[in-house]
Amino acid sequence: MTRQQLVRARSVHPHRRLQMFGMSDQFSSVEKKMHHEMMEAKGDTTAETWIKKMIAHHQGAIDMSRVLLDNSDHGPTRAMAQKTIDEQQKDINELADMLVQHQAELRS
């Protein structure tokens, strides 16, 4: 990609940017799912709602990274996508534990 193409890509709406590179279908369903899951995530407290929304957000990052791994052979990007999956999964596990603990505290 030339510098001019990169500047142009940055100046357009994110969804149109993806369309420019033929990736809209591969990422748009993942983005829509993440957005839907985040909007639906609700809890009995602000903390519980935040935890649920963050789990959905982190899962979205994992799903987007998997799209990349399935569709790209660019080594550095693949390495970052795998790193993202590993780190985001750790965060999801920590958030899930936090949610269980928070819900237990509410019941006691």
Find out whether 46 and 34 touch, Cβ atoms under 8 Å: no
User: 14 lies in a domain?
Assistant: no
Q: Which residues contact 102 (CB under 8 A, 6 or more apart)?
A: 45, 47, 48, 51
- Which DSSP letter does residue 22 get? T
In a domain, 9, yes or no: no
Q: What is the mean pLDDT of the chain?
A: 88
Within a domain: residue 12?
no
Task: Identify the CA nearest to 81 among candidates 70, 68, 93.
Answer: 68
**Residue 5 falls inside a structural domain:** no
Supply the range of the domain harboring residue 66.
Answer: 25-107
**93 falls within a domain:** yes
Would 67 be classed as within a structural domain? yes
Instruction: Name the pTM for this structure.
Output: 0.77
Q: pLDDT tens for residues 38-89?
A: 999 999 999 999 999 999 999 999 999 999 999 999 999 999 999 999 999 9
Into how many domains does the chain fold?
1
The answer to the question of residue 16 being in a domain is no
